[in-house]
Amino acid sequence: MRKKEFIMGMDLSFMDEIEQGGGRYYDAEGEERELLELLAASGVNAARLRIWNDPAGGFCNLERTVAVARRIKRQGLDFLLDFHYSDKWADPANQWKPAAWETLSYEELGQAVHDYTADVLEALKQADALPDTVQVGNEITPGLLWNEGRVDGEGFDTDEQWSRFAGLVKRGIEAVRAASPDIAVMIHIDRGGDNASSRKFFDRFAELGVDYDVIGQSFYPWWHGTLEDLRLNLHDLAHRYGKPINVVETAYPWTLEEPAGSKWVMNGREGLLPLPEYPASVDGQRRYLDKLIQIVREVPGGLGEGFYYWEPAWIPSQPEWSVGHPNNWANLTMFDFGGRMLDSFAALSPSLADRAKR
């Protein structure tokens, strides 16, 4: 059963590592607060976690995911679990198999997807922390578990490869359905402002009989187009497929300042939305969120389920991270470099909005 409340979500996958490394968070008055409690008081009602099979750094694995998921559920937040089916980042440029699955045949790979998904969900069930929604793959526009499930690039965008890709996804979905009929299945791609690519992908899944509940889209303006592109795409997808839609990843910069030792993913004005309405400032970030929330709420048929801001709490509290790279996201968070919440949270909460006007 889908929640009727509009989702104001946050991907908090780095929270565990930040806390264990000594990072701290503060409210607008500068008082130290536990992050989940602070977010819940600020209008956030959902949290997303990624899970990697066997990550080198020891975070975002099953043990740590269970521990953090229990905290999310105790806080009363909706919980979205994002299976990457990899030991590291899975995204449009990287959909590499876990090392333990490298030598498996296609049939064995499908069984591994099923069994791993089932084992993770059983562990969460035993901890009273089952997710409300599960992503079977992360930004799987080009397929997953390359090369067996690859569908982009020369020689891969074929009927046979799409069938193999869909078959692997179906094995994951099968495990989710068996774990609990109450868990919704999300299929997540990275084409928030690209209607042609979105339709190509979901038309293929419709033809191949992939049984899912929610469409997930990533939307970052410097990669995926304008807010108007997003609006038009979400409206068309709602009419075409009749499924709830979630902008499951998004962000916008609150500064372009780049302290020594940092190299931002988004560090140039060419990636900004039209000025002066959307500057790289706290107010510009709030304006962006105001508009994005409006666009999702106005998806036809009430099918705009909500959104998740990607890693709003990934503050630069340490120079290196277990994922193997330095800080590159801290100007896209919703906290300043020292962990103090920004006034852009006013986009999520009427009470915070009233305070910000004073």
Residue 115 is encoded by which pair of tokens? 């069994």
Confidence check: pLDDT of 356 > 60: no
pLDDT, position 1: 43
- Closest listed residue to residue 12, CA positions, set 54, 63, 64: 64
Residue 282 phi/psi, 5° resolution?
Answer: -60, -45
pLDDT, position 260: 81
Least reliable range by pLDDT among 126-135, 192-201, 217-226, 262-271: 262-271
pTM: 0.96
Residue 311 CB: number of other CB atoms within 10 A?
23
Identify whether 249 is a catalytic site residue: yes
Domains of the chain, first to last: 7-356 (3.20.20.80)
Measured over the CA atoms of residue 28, residue 31, residue 36 and residue 41, the dihedral's sign is: negative
What does the pLDDT look like over 98-157, one tens digit per residue? 999 999 999 999 999 999 999 999 999 999 999 999 999 999 999 999 999 999 999 999
Q: Catalytic: which of 148, 249, 305, 311?
A: 249
The distance between the two most distant Cα atoms of the chain, rounded to a whole number of Å, is: 62
**CA atoms of 216 and 306, how far apart (whole Å):** 10
The three-state secondary structure class of 234 is: helix
Span 26-34, mean pLDDT?
97
Q: How confident is the model at residue 351 (pLDDT cuts 50, 70, 90)?
A: low
Identify whether 139 is a catalytic site residue: yes
Span 306-312, mean pLDDT?
98
Residue 55 contacts residue 321 (beta carbons within 8 Å): no
The DSSP bridge partners found for residue 47 are: 10, 79
- Closest listed residue to residue 348, CA positions, set 40, 13, 76: 40
Residue 56 is encoded by which pair of tokens? 């080198």
Question: Residue written as tokens 């560090």?
Answer: 267
pLDDT, position 352: 59
Confidence check: pLDDT of 358 > 60: no
Q: How confident is the model at residue 52 (pLDDT cuts 50, 70, 90)?
A: very high
Span 187-192, mean pLDDT?
98
**CA atoms of 89 and 73, how far apart (whole Å):** 25
Measured over the CA atoms of residue 298, residue 300, residue 302 and residue 304, the dihedral's sign is: negative
Span 201-218, mean pLDDT?
98
Q: Catalytic: which of 29, 63, 102, 139?
A: 139
Mean pLDDT of the chain: 95
Q: How confident is the model at residue 3 (pLDDT cuts 50, 70, 90)?
A: low
- Closest listed residue to residue 204, CA positions, set 115, 270, 261, 143: 143
pLDDT, position 270: 86
pLDDT, position 323: 86
Confidence check: pLDDT of 354 > 70: no
